[in-house]
Amino acid sequence: MTPQQIIMTQPDDWHLHLRDGEMLGTVLPYTARQFARAIVMPNLKPPVTTVKQATEYAQRIRAALAQRSAEQNIAFDPLMTLYLTDHTSADEIQRARDSEVVQALKLYPAGATTNSESGVTDLNHCTKALEAMQKNAMVLCVHGEVTHQDVDVFDREAVFIDQVLIPLRHRFPELRIVFEHITTRQAADYVQSASGPIAATITPQHLLYNRNALFQGGIRPHYYCLPVLKREVHRQALLAAASSGSPKFFLGTDSAPHERATKETACGCAGCFSAPYALELYAQAFASAGALDRLEAFASFHGPDFYRLPRNTRKIKLSRTAQKISSPIAAEGGFLVPLGFGEQLDWRFEGFA
Query: Could you list the residues that contact Zn ion (CB under 5 A)?
Result: 254
Tell me: does residue 276 bind ligand DOR (CB under 6 A).
no
189 is catalytic: no
Find which of ligand DOR, Zn ion, none residue 255 binds, CB within 5 to 8 Å per kind.
Answer: none
Residue 206 or 248: which CB sits closer to Zn ion?
Answer: 206
Least spacing, CB of residue 228 vs ligand DOR, in Å: 8
DSSP 241-260: HHTT--TTEEE---B----H
| Cα-to-chain-centroid distance, residue 289 | 21
By CB neighbour count within 10 A (0-12 exposed, 13-18 middle, 19+ buried), where does 250 fall?
Answer: buried
Count the site residues for ligand DOR by CB under 6 A. Answer: 10
SS (H, E, C) 267-297: CCCCCCECHHHHHHHHHHHHHHCCCHHHHHH
Is 225 near ligand DOR (CB under 6 A)?
Answer: yes
- Computed on alpha carbons and rounded to an integer, the radius of gyration of the chain in Å comes to 19
Is 120 among the residues that bind ligand DOR (CB under 6 A)? Answer: no
Spot the catalytic one: 20, 98, 254, 305.
254
270 binding partner (options ligand DOR, Zn ion, none; Cβ < 5 to 8 Å by kind):
ligand DOR
CB of 209 to ligand DOR, least distance (A): 13
State which H helix or E strand residue 62 sits in. Answer: helix 51-68
Residues 6+ apart with CB under 8 A from 252: 13, 14, 15, 16, 39, 178, 180, 181, 201, 202, 203, 303
113 near ligand DOR (CB under 6 A): yes
Q: What's the min distance (Å) between Cβ of 182 and Zn ion?
A: 12
For residue 166, the one-letter residue type is I
Select the residue interacting with ligand DOR from 141, 256, 299, 337 (CB under 6 A). Answer: 256
Residues at the contact surface with ligand DOR, assessed by CB under 6 A: 17, 43, 113-114, 143, 225-226, 256, 270-271
Q: Which residues are catalytic?
A: 254
